[in-house]
Amino acid sequence: MFKVLLAIGSGSFLGGIARYLLSRGIQNSVISSFPFGTFWVNIIGCFLIGLFFGLSERGNLSNAELRLFLTVGFCGGFTTFSTFSNENLSLLRDGSFLYFSLYAGLSVFLGLLATFGGNALTKVF
């Protein structure tokens, strides 16, 4: 059990750092109140978890600790529903109803599409 928890914890640690750096880098490169940083991090995370689970289904990630490191740990630390929710609340409070609608709608739609795409990519190769 300790080995599993260590795999998840270290994956989450690395995923959280990657999320912070990538999200900050993206957000600092655009001038907008739209939360592009979190948006793209979450879409990329959805793609990655689809890819990792697809590889797992094919048997390419047969090591349970590696699978948990990548999915529960890294992807769990990399993506962030709490930040997504807080940013949506901020958009609503600011009266940015168009940005709220785009952010919430596109995040869910593109997130599902990215997860499907990552998973489907494992079927091709």
Total domain count, the chain: 1
The mean pLDDT value for 58-79 works out to 92
Q: How many angstroms from the chain centroid is the CA of residue 77? A: 8
Which residue range(s) make up the domain with 36? 2-124
Q: The tokens of 16 are what? A: 């959280």
**C-alpha distances in Å from residue 110, one per residue of 6, 17, 18, 67, 115:** 31, 23, 20, 24, 8
For the entire predicted model, the pTM comes to 0.90
Segment 94-106, tens digit of pLDDT: 999 999 999 999 9
63: number of Cβ within 10 Å: 12
